[in-house]
Amino acid sequence: MNAPFKPVGLRDLFNAFVCDDDTLELIRVAAGDMGWPIEKCNKGGLRNAVQSLSVSASPNILFVDMSESGDPINDINALAEVCEPGTVVIAAGQVNDVRLYRDLLSSGIQDYLLKPLSLDQVRESLTMAQAMLSAPKHADMHDAKPHHMMAVVGVRGGAGASLVATSLAWAISAQADRQTALLDLDVHFGTGALTLDLEPGRGLIDAIDNPSRIDGLFIERAMVRASDKLSLLSAEAPIHQPVMTDGSAFFQLEEELRNAFEITIIDIPRQVLIPFPHLVSEVGTILLVSDVTLASARDTIRLLSWFKQNVPGSRVILVANKFQTAIGELSRKEFESSIERPIDVLIPFDPKLVSQSAKLGKSYAEICKGTKAAQVWTNLMRLVLDAADDEAEEAPAAAKKAKSGGSLLGKLGGIGGMMAKKGAK
């Protein structure tokens, strides 16, 4: 299905196919600034690009305007049919939709720019494309280490999702010795850093302000290290400042964390899940944390059914927290029969060790070490790592499928691999 490989010598450095005069003018200026020939900046959008490239060699860097495309993903796939391996593609369009952005990136597009374009934005994107071209190429992108992404979602505020996220992150990094990232998406009130006695830094806020800057290097600089094996990204955004994001920063962070770590744990407040449901579309494991109350039973039912519909491929582990035998609102049995499924892991209400952990600035799981309460964390860690290892075993088969499948990623000769390498240090 790939276009036959034509000799590299015949390739242009840069081609552009744009829909309107303003964009044409802007692209010419930007290409000129890069020192590239400007005569291959053409009027005519994605359709023209497909027509033209079906009869000529593909350039090293291709800029396509999708403004006139009715079905962008389909058209990008048509482009993949005629594009040779190694071409770095930048797309531009008028559709401001995170889902489209994500789909395009996973089709192998290097960047998607929203119109109207600014000269700075185009220059930055062209510079990135040039850097991609000169990055070392790795023939085998599948030697990248396996990665497992998990989301921790609290059924209600206060159920203990952040306690579970920080504890599990500590356990997996310190006891299972895996490179672990903790991403705390409660941008204003996150407690990830506080729990581990760290300053959150500006990393997450910078990422939200400037999603296009998020790459492997950014991750390396922005993550706060809790230990050799555990890094954290969280924020204490000023309360008067609303989070202004279309979600692309969060998705981009997920992509880069995937490249740089073995395990990523995302602490996602349920209200963040509502505007950005796709944040969990590629997680392997979802930890749903609930307390054993009536209100939580209701919302557990609703969230379980939402996950089943929206993320059918992921595994949901139900953690019941703050459990109290004698004075609890519901018994374990009552809770389980109302949600019609068993609890996977039960964490007792443990004010003594929890407050000790807060005073010492350590995760609860670390404080549990050597006590009876440690068993919970060993069990939970085992459940998660078994899921991770199962996924890793399935990964080579999935990768093979992806390679022969319909995405530009395979077709354009390992752009994904180059992106993966960029972050993996």
Ligand X SMILES: Nc1ncnc2c1ncn2[C@@H]1O[C@H](COP(=O)(O)OP(=O)(O)O)[C@@H](O)[C@H]1O
- List residues binding Mg ion (CB under 5 A): 162
Rg (CA), the chain: 24
361 binds ligand X (CB under 6 A): no
Nearer to ligand X, 161 or 292 (CB): 161
Tell me if 364 sits within 8 A of 319, measured CB to CB.
no
* Pair type for strands 41-43 and 14-18: parallel
Q: Select from 13, 243, 316, 354 the one that contacts ligand X (CB under 6 A).
A: 354
* Buried-state track 185-224, b at ≥16 Cβ within 10 A, e below 16: bbbeebbbbbbbeeebbebbbbbbeebeebbbebbeebbb
Q: Which two tokens stand for residue 159?
A: 């159920």
Binding mask 189-218 for ligand X (x = CB under 6 A): --x---------------------------
The count of other CB atoms within 10 Å of the CB of residue 37 is 13
* Residue numbers 319-338 binding ligand X by CB under 6 A: 321-322
Nearer to ligand X, 90 or 185 (CB): 185
Binding mask 54-83 for ligand X (x = CB under 6 A): ------------------------------
Could you tell me which stretch among 57-65, 120-128, 141-149, 345-353 binds ligand X (CB under 6 A)? Answer: 345-353
CA distance 63 to 14: 8
Which of 119, 96, 120, 101 shows the shortest CA–CA distance to 111? 101
347 binds, among Mg ion, ligand X, none (CB under 5 to 8 A by kind): ligand X
**CB of residue 337 vs Mg ion: minimum separation in angstroms?**
28
**CB of residue 270 vs ligand X: minimum separation in angstroms?**
9
Q: Which two tokens stand for residue 396?
A: 């080579």
Q: Select from 347, 381, 408, 419 the one that contacts ligand X (CB under 6 A).
A: 347
Largest separation between any pair of C-alpha atoms in the chain: 79
Could you tell me which stretch among 38-46, 150-158, 206-214, 334-342 binds ligand X (CB under 6 A)? Answer: 150-158
CA distance 113 to 52: 22
* Distant-in-sequence, close-in-space partners of 273: CB < 8 Å, separation ≥ 6: 153, 279, 280
The count of other CB atoms within 10 Å of the CB of residue 406 is 13
CA distance 78 to 69: 12
CA distance 134 to 153: 40
160 binds ligand X (CB under 6 A): yes
Nearer to Mg ion, 162 or 314 (CB): 162
Strands (E), 292-396: 315-323, 345-348
157 binds, among Mg ion, ligand X, none (CB under 5 to 8 A by kind): ligand X
Nearer to ligand X, 160 or 211 (CB): 160
Query: SS3 for 154?
Result: strand
Nearer to Mg ion, 152 or 384 (CB): 152
65 binds, among Mg ion, ligand X, none (CB under 5 to 8 A by kind): none
161 binds ligand X (CB under 6 A): yes
How does DSSP classify residue 278?
G
Nearer to Mg ion, 108 or 192 (CB): 192
163 binds, among Mg ion, ligand X, none (CB under 5 to 8 A by kind): ligand X
Contacts with ligand X, residue ranges (CB under 6 A) = 154, 157-163, 191, 321-322, 347, 349-351, 354
